[in-house]
Chain A
Amino acid sequence: MEFEPVIGLEIHVELKTKSKMFSNGPVLFGAEPNTLVVPLDMGFPGTMPVVNKEAVIYAIRVSNALHMKIDHELHFDRKNYFYSDLPKGYQITQNLRPIGSDGYLEIEVDGKTKRINIERLHMEEDTCKQLHFNTFTLLDYNRAGTPLVEIVSRPDIRSGEEAMKYVEKIRSIVVFSEVSDGKMEEGSLRCDVNISLREKGTEPFGTKVEIKNINSISHIQRAVDFEIARQSKILNEGGTIAQETRRYDDAKRETILMRVKTDAVDYKYFPEPNITPIALSDEFVDDAIKNCPELADSKKVRYMNEYGLNEYDASQLLIDKDLSNYYDELTKYSKQYKLLANWVNVDINGYLNKNNITVLNFSLKPQELASLVEMVAKNTISSNQAKEIFNKMISDNLTALEAKKALGISEQISDNEFIIKVINEVLDEFPNSIVDYKEGKGRALGFMIGQVMKKTQGKVNPKLTNDLLLEELKKR
């Protein structure tokens, strides 16, 4: 029997605010345990939640990027449960009126655009971090109260690849809009997948299995594909799917049972009595949207339409937001868009990877690199010389001109008349090479260029020399 997977995703995104969602407790990654805690985060009596403005701005930005309707009145609810990860005994969330609703995003799969509908985006607070050992659990409340948005898709996804592309797109949106660092490995973007199978061509959903806390984008595709295969096998053998929660183990490349779900948990939601509804003015919402940094999709269109880059170069620049920002800075100082893109994608990226740093720690100012690229574009230095200068600029913290001088690189000669004169001297001195060239011996050309270089101490523009030599050879 042929089955169709029905997949929906819930993504939690930690917002990179300076303080928590409902308290002024600091938000930092990697601090000593329980050192970023204020009384509200610990649920101490007498404390009151106050909504963080920046978190609301960030939620609006993401909602807008996902083409959602934005609620201009904020309502919060209590989700009640008793567990050690939340000392208040409830989580403040938005159950009845999420800030964003009914949106979508588009992904590219096999060269086709597919729309994934999104049901809701709501704001809430994160729980504390629990470290589980064999016989005990340790609690660190630093994370408790960190602002989150949860993005819930409609069950429109049909494969592991689509699930991965969807998460990649969400990640790109939250990173480029600068609302989150989107680091799955650090838990700032967490993904739960709901997946069921139904007989192809039928409407009713099958029994849903949830895969929790997948912590890398590549794992999403593998986890979903494994789960599709696992459920298909059970159904084809006449079995039934149990409603359960599973986790993905990448070492074993399989999903593993965590717990069997019986009845749905009743969280006894009710409106949060300590936060009255908050009206957001049109101006506030518009400003939040207007001040959102440019997203990757928009940058891609700009790079291709305005700068003439091909899709590959544009996409490469957009893999890393900071790298694309660096490229944008470069374009303020040089119009050599294609050349600049090559430098960023090849030379800078190579240098960053080799030294295991990000572009934020890269010492070369865009203005300086742009002046180096301009020299290459004007043929005053060769590409090889530019690479030497590039390394010297970084190692000795020099400007492009200083590095060029320090390396003793004089300007390339691009004077046609002068080069033709030297070429003819060489041709006169080595008539046998002309014969070799005419007989199709490729080495002869290289030899003659080498002789021109020798006579000019390598100062002539090699490409121009090559072109002019070919012209002169035709005359002989």
Chain B
Amino acid sequence: MQKWNMIVDVEKCMNCHNCFLATKDEYVGNDFPGYSAPQPLHGHKWLHLVQHQRGQAPMVESHSMPVMCNQCANAPCIKAARNGAVYERPDGIVVIDPVKAKGQKQIVQSCPYGAIDWNDELQLPQKWCFDAHLLDDGWTRTRAEQACPTGALRSIRVEDAEMRAIADRDGLEGLRLELGTRPRVHYRNLHLMRAVFIGGTVVTHVDGIEDCLAGVTARLSKDGALVAETTSDTFGEFKFDRLERGSGAHELELDAGGGRRSRHSVDIADSRYLGVFAL
């Protein structure tokens, strides 16, 4: 049986919140019996964005990504629910039954992703149901995707084996896979939220004038082994990304050729702009 999956590309997300707003528009004040009770006007985050900023001026980055119910294939909420109040549909979508789940606050706590909100007025755990009511009505994609201007969100309905192949091919990652929840929301370019970078600026001085130095080879090594190599750009800037947070002492070598080179010890903790290096 083919299952619904969502693929999120972090690099394409620009934090515009169209997905967030479209999803709110769909559920606030609307009752879809069998799928979901109305979402309160404020406070719930069935699908929302998290932002992560890296570095310091002038090398600053800001990334964001939508997070939502992961429609886990091994969903903790299903286990935590009584009376079968949470169930997985044949197409993989996990639904909280808005009648049976009444009063079951433990369902909220069961989600390791914090994707389930508690509706105090209705005494109901609530979350995003992958717009199942729309898909069942003939829609081909979710409201969040429809509203996304960059294609950062893409739902596909495939067999699990095919999804695994796509994930392997495209380097997709899930959130907190160590829990064994087997999420059906997959992320591309997740390193932008998780990994760290270091970067700097190479300059040179000629007749008292400082200029950016382009084309300088920058090598990053750890314990003598080369980790990565790059080249400075027009602005003399070089950057190493996808480094592990807190990976410790590294050595940076800047080589402009002709024997013009320098070596520096770098401790990699968080993302960091290392400053200006004169060659």
Report whether chain A binds chain B: no
| Chain B interface residues (CB < 8 Å from chain A) | none
A residues contacting B by CB (< 8 A) are: none
